[in-house]
């Protein structure tokens, strides 16, 4: 076969059926849980003014190194960026529309980051997430974290660990960063060249290093939770107590720093044991009090999370959870009498609420029966010249018995419903 002239761009891929159906079901499971917990869907643009994302912090890799930026055709052109995440857009929307707080929203959709593609890491990937904006109460942190935990449980995932940390308030952080900076400087001989460079720009991110060379210096580094102000410590305590009360298991991970610099106080991540360690994060989130104000809004706290759909599905594959969905096609119409009956029958069946499909192009009985099997349909409705002459159709059970009988063409939908419900006469 000739090589295709075009392929999906590097780091992107086509999600084909039936996997696309499974993804949609995963998203709809999340949507349903979030809706029922009082969150409403936010649909925001896929691109924003680049300034919206720049508020996430100049040291945030996602912003500094990974954004897809573009200029539109305006005069002067507007500097835009494809969204690398959705929290900033949610805060921008909050400032623009000023909904009554707390504003509880969920979202889903593609995000874009110019990363080095590898298994579980793409340049276009999908997230589902939720945010509570305009709430400082630690109960909001507990609610958001628990929503994600219950979602993983609902998918049947057992190997997802919840890691939590507190990053303190901005005022606590300067004293801590000074202590961390001192530590890293005095251990600079033990650090990888990359970590040494990172230590100069953003010492916190060194704690994130997965390089074995950095392990010892990171393990002995001071940790933020030992430098919390009384208010931040009390908040963290309340979040932990809330999770304990609900029986939500977590591990305190004092070296957990998230890749996005705007987090304060609560930070958390979900790690899937079935995935390769470098790419085992299936989601994460935290508190971002201050972001709304940075975007020109009123003082408003916020807490939220984003979960990676692509990686959750990889984790499901690794655990054998949330398997492929069953076919939506219930009845397959096999027409070997010219095809006009199939057109009518499919329409009749679909209008009666049945999932129905057919073949095209006057194919043989054998070829059509093969397609019927592949479609996942439980029933075939067969129309040949005999049936057509008699104004009838043959109903054949494709799963199990293989029994068949004829009904009048006009009764086909009713017969199909009865077969599928297991109430057909003669069963």
The residues of the shown chain that bind ligand AMP, judged by CB under 6 A, are 85, 113, 115, 120-122, 125, 127, 259, 281-284, 306, 308, 310-311
HEC string for the chain: CCCCCCCCCCCCCCCCCCHHHHHHHHHHHHHHHHHHCCCEECCCCCEEEHHHHHCCCCCCHHHHCCCCEEECCCCCCCEEEECCCCHHHHHHHHHHHCCCCCEEEEEEEEEECCCCCECCECCEEEEEEEEEECCCCHHHHHHHHHHHHHHHHHHCCCCEEEEEEECCCHHHHHHHHHHHHHHHHHCHHHCCHHHHHHHHHCHHHHCCCCCHHHHHHHHCCCCHHHHCCHHHHHHHHHHHHHHHHCCCCCEECCCCCCCCCCCEEEEEEEEECCCCHHHCEEEEEEECCCHHHHCCCCCCCEEEEEEEHHHHHHHHHHHCCCCCCCCCCCEEEEECCCCHHHHHHHHHHHHCCCCEEECCCCCCHHHHHHHHHHHCCCEEEEECHHHHHHCEEEEEECCCCCCEEEEEHHHHHHHHHHHHHCCCCCC
Query: For ligand AMP, which is the closer residue by CB, 92 or 311?
Result: 311
Q: What minimum distance in Å lies between the beta carbon of 310 and ligand AMP?
A: 5
Query: For ligand AMP, which is the closer residue by CB, 307 or 409?
Result: 307
Query: For ligand AMP, which is the closer residue by CB, 228 or 281?
Result: 281
Query: For ligand AMP, which is the closer residue by CB, 47 or 332?
Result: 47
Q: What minimum distance in Å lies between the beta carbon of 271 and ligand AMP?
A: 9
Query: For ligand AMP, which is the closer residue by CB, 168 or 284?
Result: 284
Query: For ligand AMP, which is the closer residue by CB, 127 or 375?
Result: 127
Evaluate the CA torsion angle 174, 304, 157, 37 in order and state its sign: positive
Query: For ligand AMP, which is the closer residue by CB, 256 or 424?
Result: 256
Query: For ligand AMP, which is the closer residue by CB, 30 or 332?
Result: 30
Q: What minimum distance in Å lies between the beta carbon of 22 and ligand AMP?
A: 17
Q: What minimum distance in Å lies between the beta carbon of 89 and ligand AMP?
A: 12
Q: What minimum distance in Å lies between the beta carbon of 40 and ligand AMP?
A: 21
Take residue 216 and report the two structure tokens written for it: 């010892």
Q: For the chain, how big is the Rg over CA atoms in Å?
A: 28
Q: What minimum distance in Å lies between the beta carbon of 293 and ligand AMP?
A: 21
Q: What minimum distance in Å lies between the beta carbon of 26 and ligand AMP?
A: 13
Q: What minimum distance in Å lies between the beta carbon of 388 and ligand AMP?
A: 53
Query: For ligand AMP, which is the closer residue by CB, 23 or 227?
Result: 23
Q: What minimum distance in Å lies between the beta carbon of 314 and ligand AMP?
A: 9
In angstroms, the CA 337 to CA 389 distance is 10
CB distance 325 to 25 below 8 Å:
yes
Query: For ligand AMP, which is the closer residue by CB, 273 or 394?
Result: 273
In angstroms, the CA 89 to CA 95 distance is 10
Q: What minimum distance in Å lies between the beta carbon of 85 and ligand AMP?
A: 5
């Amino acid at each position: 076969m000739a090589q295709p002239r075009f392929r999906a761009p590097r780091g992107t891929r086509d999600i084909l059926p039936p996997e696309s159906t499974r993804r949609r079901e995963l998203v709809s499971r999340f949507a349903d849980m979030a809706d029922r917990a009082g969150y409403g869907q936010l649909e925001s643009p896929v691109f924003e003014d680049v300034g919206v994302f720049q508020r996430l912090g100049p040291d945030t890799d996602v912003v500094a190194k990974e954004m897809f930026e573009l200029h539109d055709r305006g005069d002067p052109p507007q500097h835009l960026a494809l969204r690398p995440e959705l929290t900033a857009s949610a805060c921008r929307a909050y400032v623009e529309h000023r909904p009554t707080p707390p504003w509880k929203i969920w979202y889903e959709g593609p995000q874009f980051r110019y990363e080095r593609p590898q298994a579980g890491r793409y340049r276009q990937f999908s997230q589902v997430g939720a945010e509570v904006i305009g709430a400082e109460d630690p109960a909001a942190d507990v609610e958001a974290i628990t929503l994600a935990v219950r979602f993983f449980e609902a998918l049947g995932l057992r190997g997802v660990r919840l890691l939590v940390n507190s990053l303190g308030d901005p005022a606590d952080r300067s004293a801590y960063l000074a202590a961390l900076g001192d530590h890293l400087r005095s251990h600079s001989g033990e650090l990888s060249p990359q970590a040494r460079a990172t230590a100069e720009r953003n010492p916190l991110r060194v704690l994130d290093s997965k390089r074995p060379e950095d392990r010892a210096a990171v393990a002995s580094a001071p940790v933020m939770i030992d430098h919390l102000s009384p208010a931040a410590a009390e908040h963290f305590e309340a979040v932990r107590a809330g999770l304990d009360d609900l029986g939500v298991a977590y591990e305190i991970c004092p070296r957990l720093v998230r890749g996005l610099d705007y987090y304060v106080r609560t930070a958390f991540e979900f790690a899937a044991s079935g995935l390769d360690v470098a790419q085992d994060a299936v989601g994460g989130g935290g508190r971002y009090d201050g972001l709304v104000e940075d975007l020109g809004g009123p003082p408003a706290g916020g807490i939220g999370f984003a979960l990676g759909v692509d990686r959750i599905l990889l984790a499901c594959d690794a655990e054998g959870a949330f398997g492929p969905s069953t076919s939506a096609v219930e009845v397959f119409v096999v027409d070997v009498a010219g095809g006009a009956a199939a057109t009518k029958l499919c329409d009749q069946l679909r209008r009666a609420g049945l999932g129905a499909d057919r073949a095209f192009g006057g194919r043989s009985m054998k070829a059509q029966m093969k397609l019927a099997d592949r479609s996942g349909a439980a029933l075939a409705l067969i129309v040949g010249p005999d049936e057509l002459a008699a104004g009838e159709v043959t109903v054949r059970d494709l799963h199990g018995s293989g029994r068949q009988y004829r009904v009048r063409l006009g009764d086909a939908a009713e017969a199909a419903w009865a077969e599928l419900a297991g109430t057909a006469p003669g069963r």
